[in-house]
Structure 1
Amino acid sequence: MINMTKNERKCVRYLTHELSTAARAVFEIELTLDNELKTTYDTYKLIWDNYPDSLKEFDEQKEIQLKSKTVHRNINRKREVINRVTFSLAAITLIFIAYGYFSPSNELSYTNQITTNKGQRQTLYLPDSSLVILNALSEIQYNSDFKNQRNVYVKGEAYFDVTHNENIPFIVHTEDLNITVLGTAFNVNTVLDNKSVSLERGKVNVLIKKSQNSLNLLPKEELIYNIKTSDVTKRNFNITKALAWKDNMLILDNLIFKHALYKINNFYGVRFKITDEDINQKKITGAFKEQDLDEFINSIEFIADVKIKKVNTNEYLIAQNHED
């Protein structure tokens, strides 16, 4: 017996009209949001459309054949051959689906890949002229042809300003979320356990892959999804603070040093470290726009009253300032 995935069962139930009207409507919405489900459905639809007869019709025909074997013998033989070919095709297709389902989609589906290093931010334009800004230690994958589909895969953090096309939705795939838009500007962050989608303008639909739940975001709203607890939060956010990085600005808003280090290290591509617990708990607030590393160090020393020493290549120690 062939073990079917959840998506495969849903596709079969939809094609055989076993789903209720409400369930069919939900399934049709999911088809527009989940690329993997759409691929599975298209494969099963192809088999369904090319199947010679339904099983019910085949059983009814079989009863008639038992009553009149001589008249229907040739038809029966022909259908038996066709059915064998069809079931063989179905088995081969299921093997293909299983391979595609268990293989990383982001490795198989995209022809272009761009990654950034620590301290690096990169701007690029996609084939439909949509703007993308990648933050440090991030990755985007996409195809060269956007004529029929506009799909990208993102890891890390990226800002999108999507070219409007009501006929071809733009879908951003991440490990945990799918974001579907027509034309809008938004930020995606998958770096930490709290995955976020922050909408600057337009409208997006966010699908949580694990639960298959989705919700819409309006301007100045963001979704926070915690992959450990599965908690989902929808809230308003400060656009300037959330998107400052794309304008080469680092904002530290009343953060203790311990929590600010990741943002600082990622932004400048170096490693600042602290061994003094008093400094770890010291709060810092500041906006550092287009400052190089030396300028940033001078600013931090002045604002936080600390001393920063270079201890190794790309490694700095933040210590107490003992000067009177």
Structure 2
Amino acid sequence: MKQEIKDILSKYITSDKNCSDEQVNNILGGTKYQSEVKDFMVNNWTEVLEEETELEKDFRPILHKVHHILRVKEHHDKNRFQTRIFKWYKLAAAILLIPIVVSSVVYFLADAKNDKLLASQYSSISIESHQGQVINFDLPDGTKGVLNAGSKLTYSLPFSNNRSLTLSGSAFFEVTHDEKHPFVVSTAKVNVKVLGTKFGIEAYEDDDFTNVLLEEGKVMCGIPMHGKQVIMKPNEKLHIEDKKILLSNVNASDMLGWKDGLLIFRDEEMPVVIKKLMRWYNVDISLEDMDLEKYSFRATFENEPLEEVLKLLSRTSPIGYKIEKRTTDKTGKFTKKSVKIYKREK
């Protein structure tokens, strides 16, 4: 069956009349042949790069970028048929565009003046998850991870020899061991250096704090603003806020449950809870009474709709809430869902 899929796709990209659109739609329209399609695309791209050319250039950074784009997937929408169709049509478009991409690259390389332009276009990658979205990602060195809602991860290519990344937001990493090439994640307040481990970082730009959670292995955290270094052991949490640095023992797997679809609050006060809800559900939330900021919450939710979460939170505190009706702007686009949280009268 694998060879049959390859033959159909090969005919399709060469405009063979014996290959119909219906055949290709059947292959790309679901998950049954997902591995075969990915293998075909990777092999097709590799074959193009291995063809003889007068220009001796290193296309591996471009290949890494293409591989990465194909691997990134949306976590929340992975079971929706429409999302799967759209994803595979993007893959199909990538197949059809390969000759165009290669010819464009050769055109640029024909002029030495454009070397810097090519380098600038393909030297870095950004992975971004929008509000209400959690995505899984694979890095070129084999490292796997999960990017939390409203986060952005950036790194340079080639990556395997320089495993340095910049994070804004929250992410979990399962780092491939490479003793010669440390893995470094930089945020506004902390630089985390590892060889091979499992850990998470929470470093949103609109938060006053940064957290590092270590599940396995060992990490060294450099804190430039304090001129300090902290070596962490498994099941420890490093909390950095203003002049405060706090290292505590925790259940790291529990606190990193967001990567498995769990919305977790661990004695967190209302302002932090609201930010988490806004990112998780892609909504706007306003707090109508500042007295509510002092209340803290401890709960775990799995696949619960926003209204159910608000209802359960209201049982442990004197809060009420109102979900505003969504409206449309001048272009007909729906506004983001809006919630008002107020102090409930006794």
TM-score for the superposition, normalised by structure 1: 0.58
Which aligned pairs between 1:195-274 and structure 2 lie closer than 5 A? 195-226=210-241, 228-229=242-243, 231-274=244-287
Farther-moved stretch of structure 1 (128-137 vs 190-199): 190-199
Letter in 1 for 2:338: E
1:185 lines up with 2:208 in the alignment: no
Cα distance change on mapping 1:255 and 1:172 into 2, 3 Å: closer
CA distance in 2 between counterparts of 1:232 and 1:281 reads 22
Aligned to 2:301: 288
1:254, CA displacement in angstroms?
4.0
Unpaired stretches in structure 2, ≥5 consecutive residues? 1-119, 327-336
1:217, CA displacement in angstroms?
1.0
CA distance in 2 between counterparts of 1:234 and 1:279 reads 28
CA contact (8 A) 2:123 2:158 kept: no
CA contact (8 A) 1:127 1:144 kept: no
Query: What per-residue deviation string (whole Å, max 9, x for no partner) do you get for residues 81-122 of structure 1?
Result: xxxxxxxxxxxxxxxxxxxxxxxxxx9995101112222211
Query: What per-residue deviation string (whole Å, max 9, x for no partner) do you get for residues 22-72 of structure 1?
Result: xxxxxxxxxxxxxxxxxxxxxxxxxxxxxxxxxxxxxxxxxxxxxxxxxxx
CA contact (8 A) 2:174 2:197 kept: yes
Alignment counterpart, residue 133 of structure 1, candidates 126, 138, 146 = 146
Aligned to 1:318: 341
CA contact (8 A) 2:124 2:155 kept: yes
CA distance in 2 between counterparts of 1:219 and 1:108 reads 39
Which secondary structure state, in structure 2, belongs to the residue aligned with residue 234 of structure 1? strand
Cα distance change on mapping 1:110 and 1:185 into 2, 3 Å: farther
1:168 lines up with 2:191 in the alignment: no
Identity %: 28
1:294, CA displacement in angstroms?
3.9
What count of residue pairs does the alignment treat as equivalent? Answer: 215
Letter in 2 for 1:214: Q
CA distance in 1 between counterparts of 2:269 and 2:247 reads 25
CA contact (8 A) 1:121 1:135 kept: yes
The alignment's C-alpha RMSD in Å is: 2.8
TM-score for the superposition, normalised by structure 2: 0.55
CA distance in 2 between counterparts of 1:145 and 1:114 reads 16
Cα distance change on mapping 1:180 and 1:317 into 2, 3 Å: same
Alignment counterpart, residue 124 of structure 1, candidates 137, 146, 153 = 137
Cα distance change on mapping 1:278 and 1:176 into 2, 3 Å: closer
Unpaired stretches in structure 1, ≥5 consecutive residues? 1-106
Q: Which runs of 4+ in 1 moved over 6 A?
A: none
Aligned to 2:156: 143
Which secondary structure state, in structure 2, belongs to the residue aligned with residue 264 of structure 1? helix
Letter in 1 for 2:192: I
CA distance in 1 between counterparts of 2:319 and 2:208 reads 31
CA distance in 2 between counterparts of 1:148 and 1:268 reads 37
Q: Which structure has the larger Rg?
A: 1
Which secondary structure state, in structure 2, belongs to the residue aligned with residue 127 of structure 1? coil
